[in-house]
Each structure stands twice: as C-alpha cells, then as structure tokens.
Amino acid sequence: MGLQCQLGGTAMQTLKLAAIPSSPARFIFKPSSSCSISFLSCLNPSRAHRPPPPFAFLTRALSSSALQTAPAAKDGVDTKGVTRSQWKAAIDFKWIRDNKDAVAVNIKNRNSVANLEAVLELYDKMLAVQKEVERLRGERNSVANKMKGKLEPLERQKLIEEGKNLKEGLVTLEEDLLRLTDELQAEAQCIPNMTHPDVPIGAEDSSIVRKMVGSPREFSFPIKDHLQLGKDLDLFDFDAAAEVSGSKFYYLKNEGVLLEMALVNWTLAEVMKKGFIPLTTPEIVRSSTVEKCGFQPRGDNTQVYSIEGSDQCLIGTAEIPVGGIHMDSILAESQLPLKYVAFSHCFRTEAGAAGAATRGLYRVHQFSKVEMFIICRPEESDSYHEELIKIEEDLFSALGLHFKTLDMSSEDLGAPAYRKFDIEAWMPGFGRYGEISSASNCTDYQSRRLGIRYRPSEQAATNMKKSKGNLGPTKFVHTLNATACAVPRMIVCLLENYQQEDGSVTIPAQLRPYMGGLELVARKSY
C-alpha cells in the first residue's frame, strides 16, 4: 500500500514494489495490463551464400496493415465504456495462423507461456465478427440509398425501422469487434520473437561458450571478496544505506566513487571512438514505453519499480528511454545506422534474489550503467550484433579481465531477443563466473511497437515527384542493445582480481588518467 507524504503542500508519489520473474524467458503478461510481446522477423540477407536454415521462411516481418482498428481512447476506455488498449503492436495474425506449426515449435523451444491456440481462436472470431460488421454496413448503406428516392409513407417508415434495427445491431457488433481485437492483441503480444537458427535449444546450461579470454589469476595468498576489500579500504557502506533505503542499497565512498566515475568516463570515451553518440536519459518513463520495449511494468512478475498513482516507472536500463527517443517516427535511410551510448542510473526490484552469489554489489536495486543501442536496417543487424560483442570484449580485455562469451540458449532469451550473447567474468571472491554484460539483437520486435520505421532511399528517389501518400512503403528498423559497463559488477571484478597481498588494490592502467593518476588503493591511516 502506497504512502502519500505532504511536503510544503506537495504530494509525493511513492514506488510500488513487485516480484521479478525467475527467468528472463518467463515473462507472464495479462490482457488487463496490455502485455508486450509481439512477433518478429529475423531475416539475414548477409548470409545469402549459406544454405537456408530450417524455418528460414519464418523470417518474414509482420505487416502493420494486417490489423485495422480504431484508435484507442486516451484513457483506454471509449465513450461507450468499452475497454481498449492504449497502443497496438503491428502484428500479422494471418501470418501466425498460416505458420502455426513453426510458431508453436518456437514457443516450446523458448519455454514461453504464450497461448497460441487462444490467439488463433480469437483471430477466427474476430474475422467472423468483422465479416458480419461489413455485411451490416452494406445493408445499412443500401437502405440509406433507397430512402433517397420518392417513397410511399408506409414504405419509407418500413425502411426507417429497418435502418434503425441495422444501426443497433451494428453498434453491438462493433463493440464486440473492439473487445475481440483488444483480447487478440493482448494474447498475440505474448508470442516471443523468432529465434536465430544457430541458437542452442534448451535451458541455460545448453548455452555454448564461443570465446574464452585469458585465464584466472593465481594468488599466492588467501584472497578476499569485494565485500571484505571494500570494508577494509573504506570504499562502500551497506549498513548505513540499509538504514536509509533498505537492503541492496549502498553508499560508495572515497576511491570507490572515483572508480565509478573513471569506469563511466573511460567507457564513454572508448565507445564514442566507434562512432556512438553519447546520451544521458530520463530515468522515469511512461509505462507504455516500458511495455513497448518488452518489459512488464505492472503485475505480479516484474523487475520494474512503478510509481503508484501514475503511468510512470523507473527505468531498469537505458535501453528503454533510448528506444523511445525515435518513437512514432519515420527515419531517412541515410540516417541509419544510429548508434547511441547512454549513461543512466538503473532501478530493479530484484525481489526473490538470494544466496552468496547475489551478495554485496553483485545484485542491487540501484546502479549506474553505460548502455549501447543501435538502430539499423534489417539486413545489417547481424553484423552490428557482432560489432557490439566485439566492443564489449575489447573493453573487458583492456581491463585485464578473464571472461567467457556465451551464445545463450533459447530458454534464456528474453522475449524480444532473436539472439543474445552474454559475457561472464571470473570473480575470485565468489569462486565463479558472473555475468557482466549481454548483447541482444531484437530485430524488429521493439520497433514494431515503438513505431520506428525508415523509408528506403531508392523508394524515396523513385517517388520524389509523387505526393506523400503515394510514396513507397516504409520498413521497420532493427534494434540492438548491449552493456558497455554495469558499474557495480565491474567494481566487483576489479577489486577481486587486482587485490594485493597487503590488502591494497591496484588500479588498471587504463583507468588511472580518469582517477587523477591514482595507481593503488590502500588502507586509510585514520
């Protein structure tokens, strides 16, 4: 239950906490909260020289013209009290029906909760009602045309009654059609993206190591974890933060602050060299924007902090506000690719997380992160996915970390991801590898809900003398995201891997210019 506080006569809205899903692949969406999973294309023309993979035909994108519905009322309810979705994804229901076997296999492989049978049933019902609506509209128009001529009073009265009955029946059917299209939209948005043919099928342990960099450091002395190092070197304070904010919050202190700033600034500088545009983003966004990016802001299973009494949420990643920056726009092909590197604070509920592997800075409610985001043409997304993972690997290699890159399995993919690569670094204090980044190709999953399209230059040139209405069709862009630096986990890696026998920690050479030349973090004399 939310608490309303009054400060100087101004009400402060409070955050409402909810639980997270046990696995990224298990998003549960309810029709009442307008779930946010739609179907994607996954075409890769750059691999045209290779034999087509099984289900290669499934890469076809969904047509935005496949569903024609009236615009939703602003508050989600029309003037007749019919509940309506506030936004609609461009889903080709006919395509889903025509390819139902392959769609069903993909849902099973991803361990998705999507209900394909419900989608197909609702689609058939919607078509039937739509056909009846069109029939009644035709009859009503016919009656209206008959009344334009000279008629006997009795005949005119008969037509008036017939028209009235048709109108009443049409109103009822149109309301039914709105309800059906909204139910269909809610169910179909739960269908996950198709999956890259090279993705290993199965649970997380089916993920494949595609690259291993370096080897674990061998210590000649008893090692400490980052919690002990941070306490000894006075770098952070969890106890005070727990009193102020609750568990899984922290204060950074002394060189810990400098280390965070150095990581952020060094990462931004390195990624900007690759042609990325730097951004800072809003950290409160509309719930609908969160949904369109593939996250569930409301409900029982969410990582999102929602602001009670509003339609706003705190972001869990800069991917959300960066994805929304070109929402409902048509880009020129010459603008693509758009490459952004964004710094933001991130907020995640992390409810249910427990165990030694989540202690300290590894899993917290608030943290700083540098995120990369690319908007590109569909045929280029696979190559940009490779570019993103190479940038990540180069960054972590430059810091001297030992890590492995994983091609994640189908059940570990979030619903938007066509393919995802994770990087896990060795953390000596935990005695295990821990995830420090991921890079996902979401194809047109997000752009079809965010409404981000582009107009191919050839079409624009061919139709330049024609009216705007006669221009060639636009296409949906592809979006990709990747973590450049999740600050707390990078601090875990650096403290634990660079600790010395005397309890000090060496600063990697790349970060020293961003820390005033500091080379070592040692115990304080006070």
Both tokens assigned to 249: 């919050």
Is-cis flag, bond preceding 45, omega within 30?
A: no
The one catalytic residue in 183, 455, 489, 496 is 489
The one catalytic residue in 84, 110, 298, 363 is 363
Is residue 84 within 8 A of residue 182, CB to CB? The reply is yes
Per the annotation, binding residues for ATP are 348-350, 364-367, 435-438
Report the 10 Å Cβ neighbour count for 16: 17
What's the order of all strands across the beta sheet hosting 366-376? 208-213, 403-407, 419-427, 432-441, 478-486, 366-376, 338-347, 277-280
Is 438 tagged catalytic? yes
Is 363 tagged catalytic? yes
Count how many Cα atoms sit within 13 Å of the Cα of residue 180 in the half-sphere of its side chain.
21
CA-CA distance, 372 to 482, in Å (whole number)?
A: 5
The one catalytic residue in 85, 287, 438, 447 is 438
Per the annotation, binding residues for L-serine are 317, 348, 371, 481
Angle 496-223-205 (CA atoms, 0-180°, nearest 5)?
65
The one catalytic residue in 162, 204, 435, 504 is 435
Is 489 tagged catalytic? yes
Per-residue burial over 90-112, b if 16 or more Cβ lie within 10 Å, else e, is: bbbbebbeebeeebeebbebbbb
| Whole-angstrom Cα Rg for the chain | 27
Is residue 433 within 8 A of residue 441, CB to CB? The reply is no
**Inter-axis angle of helices 487-497 and 255-272, to 10 degrees?**
110
Both tokens assigned to 11: 């009400």
Per the annotation, binding residues are 317, 348-350, 364-367, 371, 435-438, 481
Q: Looking at residue 316, what DSSP letter applies?
A: S
Is 435 tagged catalytic? yes
Is 308 tagged catalytic? no
The one catalytic residue in 110, 298, 348, 449 is 348
CA-CA distance, 523 to 526, in Å (whole number)?
A: 9
Residues assigned a catalytic role: 348, 363, 435, 438, 489
